[in-house]
Amino acid sequence: MSDTEAALSAKQTNKAISYSCRLLGMREYSEYSLRQKLLSKGYLANEIEATIAFLLENNWLSDLRFCEVFIRSKSNRGQGLQRINYELKSKGIHSSMIEAVLVDNPIDWQQICNETCVKKIESSNLTSELKSRQKLERFLRYRGFSGEDIRTSIRTYLK
Are 136 and 158 in contact, with CB atoms under 8 Å apart? yes
pLDDT at residue number 124? 86
Residues 41, 75 share a domain: no
Residues 121, 142 share a domain: yes
Residues 38, 51 share a domain: yes
**CA distance to 15, 17, 92, per residue, from 47 (Å):** 9, 9, 20
Residues 57, 45 share a domain: yes
How many domains in the chain? 3
Residues 52, 14 share a domain: yes
Whether pLDDT at 129 is above 80: yes
Residues 116, 68 share a domain: no
DSSP tag of 43: -
Q: What is the mean pLDDT of residues 97-109?
A: 95
SS3 for 154?
helix
Residues 9, 57 share a domain: yes
Domain range holding 25?
3-61
pLDDT at residue number 2? 67
Q: What is the pTM of this model?
A: 0.89
